[in-house]
């Protein structure tokens, strides 16, 4: 038995896999102590006996690191670097967020100057020691640390990716009660600012993650618990406590893992994913595999560790609609969250949200929300939307439609960022929607981008939790080696990969994964000599890598050069064999007597034709349905717009196609 748990901003989702059968559950999140919602859900599902017996494997996607970073609630952290580089994190890349803004808003420095300490130690770019650490200066550094009384320390020395001996020497001298992060362990790559930020984030958030995971483990022992990483693979809970920076996109990565798995099962490997939850919407592109990036951000901070290549905006079901200073309707990024939540939840919320707009328009059925377990208060939703309708001089329905149109425009823009703006034609992909609110908006987004086909997986409202069931244990390793590719022999690259492979296999074998089942996927970060940014290509041999780089550069930027190609980073994904998951097939034969009693028709604002409302469990496998339809289920609602058809397959996936 395997249980996936995804803690979101509004709901905590549970997906239990037991001999191919799926059981799902949702509870409201408890942001002040996320483990409370987890334990409540496990109790609701009557799984406590399995936890105590150790017969349940749990994979958890956590937002503890994300929320702490966004709310600026990390711990007191000292940053140690070379003499003369104390301002490294404050200076950054000297890049302005808005190039032509002559009066930019002052951004607070990540680390206060008194917590930035220097040590007179230095290596050159080959790793040769230029200035050794002197015992007296190290002793003085330790006294400074003691006076500041931090909870964590981040160590980031120049060229530590070539030789980590100085960083290890400092780490060994620090008091054992401190949470210590070394840059040579967190991210052994060039670019001291990005490496330093990743190391500081790991230290700044680490004690919070460590304490949370310790509480969770204490409650769930002896069950086997793993944590979802931002790269789409899992890590054992004991090792995860030292990898806070690798957990910043823990939950959303689960959704991509689930979408990639469903696409593979259906033979659809080119997907644009659209995950609309209660707080935000995440969009990504899967072209044969989940894309990774080292250029993501969390709030104002760059996160250079590998994460799923995803674009996130503050437009979810709970996003608040309001009028700006000019009287224009805006939506997000503020969210009503889980408490009080949208007005229609009846928990004291009074601000109008996207969920309230859908409720006012009848697209969310008050008797079908969460399978009928949670009744929606339509009167409260109408009162919230009315607060905008009156100053706008519009009806309730017109205002609600306006809220949805504004929210949709935010999401359309996000979809263009990860497709059109990268030279990728979205019409050649299938749009895969999930998240509790995704199905209500997906047809409008597909039409805006001329995408002709949509996938709506079964239990799409909890797909992120399902994705954790199929995500493999994994480590993403990297090492900087800057050299012209023509001077880098295949044997030299393979030697570095061999060292990295040993490290990854050792970590995975601690999770009781047999060495013979571990897979390794090598790749290189390449660029034209003189460029600042790289492209990642598969590694087989130098000639093949160079050819792949030229082609990728042409696709991404529309041109290529006859210039030497430079190797920058060597990367290796080390993972266990994918989890074998056999889902029970579903098949409901056509039954004329039941068809007449399980659906009804409604007139909904904004839709010209009568809308058929039907429970997803009553859909007939293989039957072609014509929109407009409203398909309800326990964790989501899907609107099949006019001009679209819908067909259910044996895995329960809904295939929607636009009529030509």
Same domain, 276 and 256: yes
pLDDT digits (tens, 9 = 90+) for 565-619: 999 999 999 999 876 777 656 555 555 444 434 568 888 888 888 999 999 989 9
For 26-32, the CB contacts below 8 A with 24+ separation are 26/370, 26/461, 26/462, 26/634, 26/635, 28/338, 28/339, 28/341, 29/338, 30/338, 31/67, 31/337, 31/338, 31/339
Residue 196 backbone phi and psi in degrees, to 5: -65, -40
Considering the domain boundaries, does residue 36 fall inside one? no
Same domain, 426 and 441: yes
* pLDDT given at position 592: 45
Same domain, 312 and 388: yes
User: How far, in Å, CA of 187 to CA of 171, rounded?
Assistant: 16
Considering the domain boundaries, does residue 487 fall inside one? yes
Please, is 587 exposed, middle or buried when counting C-beta atoms within 10 Å of its C-beta (0-12, 13-18, 19+)?
A: exposed
* pLDDT given at position 599: 65
Residues 6+ apart with CB under 8 A from 589: 620, 621
Considering the domain boundaries, does residue 422 fall inside one? yes
* pLDDT given at position 596: 38
User: How far, in Å, CA of 655 to CA of 219, rounded?
Assistant: 41
Residue 90 token pair: 């404050």
Residue 395 backbone phi and psi in degrees, to 5: -75, 170
Question: How many structural domains comprise the chain?
Answer: 3
pLDDT digits (tens, 9 = 90+) for 447-487: 999 999 999 998 888 999 999 999 999 999 999 999 999 99
User: How far, in Å, CA of 146 to CA of 437, rounded?
Assistant: 50
User: How far, in Å, CA of 231 to CA of 571, rounded?
Assistant: 13
Element (H, E) at 602: strand 599-602
Please give the residue range of the domain that contains residue 320.
Answer: 251-472+581-660
Considering the domain boundaries, does residue 389 fall inside one? yes
Q: Domain end: 575, 594, 626, which one?
A: 575
Same domain, 256 and 364: yes
User: How far, in Å, CA of 251 to CA of 257, rounded?
Assistant: 10
Checking DSSP bridges between strand 301-303 and strand 116-119, what pairing results, if any?
Answer: unpaired
**Tokens 């309001």 correspond to what residue?**
322
Measuring CA to CA, which residue among 51, 70, 50, 604 is closest to residue 333?
A: 70
* pLDDT given at position 590: 56
109, 193 in Cβ contact below 8 A? Answer: no
Same domain, 585 and 626: yes
Same domain, 287 and 374: yes
Same domain, 404 and 504: no
User: How far, in Å, CA of 102 to CA of 612, rounded?
Assistant: 55
User: How far, in Å, CA of 488 to CA of 484, rounded?
Assistant: 7
Measuring CA to CA, which residue among 290, 303, 271, 181 is closest to residue 231?
A: 290
Same domain, 293 and 319: yes
* pLDDT given at position 524: 97
The parts of the chain modelled with pLDDT lower than 70 are: 338, 371-372, 579, 583-599, 660
126, 51 in Cβ contact below 8 A? Answer: no
Considering the domain boundaries, does residue 618 fall inside one? yes
Considering the domain boundaries, does residue 493 fall inside one? yes
234, 473 in Cβ contact below 8 A? Answer: yes
Residues 6+ apart with CB under 8 A from 108: none
Element (H, E) at 593: helix 592-595
- Count the helices and strands in the chain (H runs, E runs): 18, 34
Same domain, 93 and 178: yes
Q: What's the chain's Rg over C-alpha atoms?
A: 26
Checking DSSP bridges between strand 474-484 and strand 453-456, what pairing results, if any?
Answer: unpaired
Q: Domain end: 549, 575, 601, which one?
A: 575
N residues, the chain:
660
Same domain, 262 and 339: yes
Q: Is 235 helix (H, G, I), strand (E, B) or coil?
A: strand
User: How far, in Å, CA of 227 to CA of 34, rounded?
Assistant: 14
User: How far, in Å, CA of 508 to CA of 518, rounded?
Assistant: 8
Q: Is 296 helix (H, G, I), strand (E, B) or coil?
A: strand
User: How far, in Å, CA of 260 to CA of 471, rounded?
Assistant: 10
* pLDDT given at position 595: 45
* pLDDT given at position 315: 81
Domain with 91 in it: what CATH number? Answer: 3.40.50
Q: Domain end: 176, 208, 240, which one?
A: 208
Residue 49 token pair: 């006996």
**Model's pTM, two decimal places?**
0.86
Would you put residue 646 in left (φ > 0), alpha (ψ -120 to 50) or beta?
A: beta
Considering the domain boundaries, does residue 361 fall inside one? yes
Residue 456 token pair: 């709506």
pLDDT digits (tens, 9 = 90+) for 347-357: 888 899 999 99
Same domain, 480 and 615: no
Checking DSSP bridges between strand 224-228 and strand 234-236, what pairing results, if any?
Answer: antiparallel
CB atoms within 10 A of CB 649: 17
Considering the domain boundaries, does residue 465 fall inside one? yes
Same domain, 595 and 635: yes
Measuring CA to CA, which residue among 285, 126, 119, 111 is closest to residue 190?
A: 126
Q: What percentage of the chain carries pLDDT values higher than 70?
A: 96
Alpha carbon of residue 57 to chain centroid: 22
* pLDDT given at position 244: 94
- Secondary structure letter of residue 18 according to DSSP: E
């Amino acid at each position: 038995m395997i249980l996936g748990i995804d803690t979101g901003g509004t709901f905590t989702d549970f997906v239990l896999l037991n001999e191919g059968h799926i059981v799902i559950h949702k509870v409201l999140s408890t942001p002040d102590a996320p483990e409370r919602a987890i334990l409540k859900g496990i109790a609701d599902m009557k799984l406590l006996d399995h936890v105590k017996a150790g017969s349940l494997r749990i994979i958890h996607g956590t937002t503890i690191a994300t929320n702490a970073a966004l709310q600026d609630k990390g711990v007191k952290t000292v940053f140690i670097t070379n003499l003369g580089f104390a301002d490294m994190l404050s200076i950054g890349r000297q890049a302005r967020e808005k190039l032509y803004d002559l009066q930019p808003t002052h951004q607070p420095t990540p680390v206060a100057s008194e917590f930035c300490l220097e040590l007179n130690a230095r290596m050159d770019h080959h790793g040769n020691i230029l200035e050794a650490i002197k015992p007296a200066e190290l002793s003085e550094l330790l006294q400074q640390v003691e006076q500041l009384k931090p909870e964590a320390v981040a160590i980031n020395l120049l060229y530590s990716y070539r030789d980590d001996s100085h960083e290890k020497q400092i780490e060994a001298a620090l008091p054992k009660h401190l949470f210590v992060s070394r840059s040579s362990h967190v991210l052994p790559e060039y670019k001291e600012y990005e490496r330093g930020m990743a190391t500081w984030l790991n230290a700044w958030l680490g004690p919070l993650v460590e304490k949370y995971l310790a509480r969770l483990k204490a409650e769930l022992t002896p069950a086997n618990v793993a944590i979802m990483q931002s790269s789409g693979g899992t890590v054992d809970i004991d090792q995860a406590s030292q990898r806070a920076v690798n957990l910043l996109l823990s939950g959303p990565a689960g959704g991509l893992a689930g979408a990639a798995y469903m696409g593979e099962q259906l033979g659809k490997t080119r997907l644009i994913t659209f995950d609309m939850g209660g707080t935000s919407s995440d969009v990504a592109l899967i072209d044969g595999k989940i894309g990774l990036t080292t250029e993501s951000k969390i709030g104002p901070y760059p996160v250079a560790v590998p994460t799923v290549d995803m674009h996130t905006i503050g437009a979810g079901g709970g996003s608040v609609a309001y009028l700006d200073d000019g009287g224009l309707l805006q939506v997000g990024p503020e969210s009503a969250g889980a408490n009080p939540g949208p007005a229609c939840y009846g928990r004291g919320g009074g601000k109008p949200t996207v969920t309230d707009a859908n409720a006012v328009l009848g697209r969310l059925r008050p008797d079908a929300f969460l399978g009928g377990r949670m009744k929606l208060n339509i009167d409260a939703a109408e009162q919230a939307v009315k607060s905008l309708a009156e100053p706008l001089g519009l009806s309730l329905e017109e205002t609600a439609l306006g809220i949805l149109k504004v929210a949709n425009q935010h999401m359309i823009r996000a979809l263009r960022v990860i497709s059109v703006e990268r030279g990728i034609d979205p019409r050649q992909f299938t749009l895969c929607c999930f998240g509790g609110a995704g199905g209500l908006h997906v047809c409008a987004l597909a039409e805006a981008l001329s995408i002709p086909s949509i996938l709506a997986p079964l239990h799409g409202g909890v797909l992120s939790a399902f994705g954790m069931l199929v995500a493999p244990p994994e480590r993403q390793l990297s090492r900087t080696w800057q050299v012209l590719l023509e001077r880098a022999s295949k044997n030299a690259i393979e030697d570095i990969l061999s060292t990295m492979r040993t490290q990854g296999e050792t970590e995975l074998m601690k999770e009781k994964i047999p060495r013979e089942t571990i897979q390794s996927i090598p790749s290189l970060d390449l660029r034209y000599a003189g460029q600042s940014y790289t492209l990642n290509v598969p590694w087989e041999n130098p000639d093949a890598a160079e050819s792949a780089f030229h082609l990728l550069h042409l696709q991404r930027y529309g041109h290529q050069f006859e210039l030497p190609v430079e190797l920058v980073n060597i990367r290796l994904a080390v993972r266990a064999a994918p989890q074998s998951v056999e889902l029970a097939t579903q098949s409901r034969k056509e039954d004329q007597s039941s068809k007449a009693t399980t659906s009804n028709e409604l007139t909904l604002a904004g839709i010209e034709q009568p809308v058929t409302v039907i429970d997803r469990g009553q859909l007939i496998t293989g039957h072609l349905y014509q929109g407009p339809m409203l398909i309800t289920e326990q964790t989501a609602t899907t609107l099949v717009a006019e001009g679209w058809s819908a067909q259910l397959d044996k895995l329960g996936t809904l295939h929607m196609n636009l009529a030509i």
